[in-house]
Copies of this chain bind each other. A is one copy, B any other.
Amino acid sequence: MNSDVFQAIADPTRRAILGYLASGPRNVNAISRQFPVSRMAVYKHIKLLTASGLIEVRQRGRERFCEVRLERLAEVSEWIDQLREPWIARPNQSDIALQEAKSIRSNRKNKA
């Protein structure tokens, strides 16, 4: 369960959770109290965020404290930066697109 960071930040509730956690680690219940969805819904978001590496969970007694790990967002900033770079003088762009698309497809097949 090695979820994609882009996918992880696509959901507005998950972004809000990350924003909330920016003020410091909180346990699952504390987080879920902040949002108008059930605890389970938040729990699932946290599971996905953990899988994507955007948060880290430390158990302490019966509580599980979630802490935001912003490093993983570098993948996103870097993608944006690369896109912004002048495209010229880079190796054949269309070949790259094709390669990426192919690996996307084979990933999908492997999942199923």
Contact = CB atoms under 8 A, between A and B. Distances in A.
Q: State how many copies of this chain the complex holds.
A: 2
Interface in A11-35: 12-13, 15-20, 22-24, 34-35
Given A6-B15, A104-B12, A104-B13, A20 B83 contact: no
Q: From DSSP, what is the main secondary structure of chain A's interface residues? A: helix
Interface of A: 4, 6-7, 9-10, 12-13, 15-20, 22-24, 34-37, 68, 70, 73, 76-77, 79-80, 83-84, 87, 90, 93-94, 96-98, 100-102, 104-105
Given A6-B9, A6-B10, 5 more contacts: A19-B100, A34-B98, A34-B101, A36-B102, A76-B80
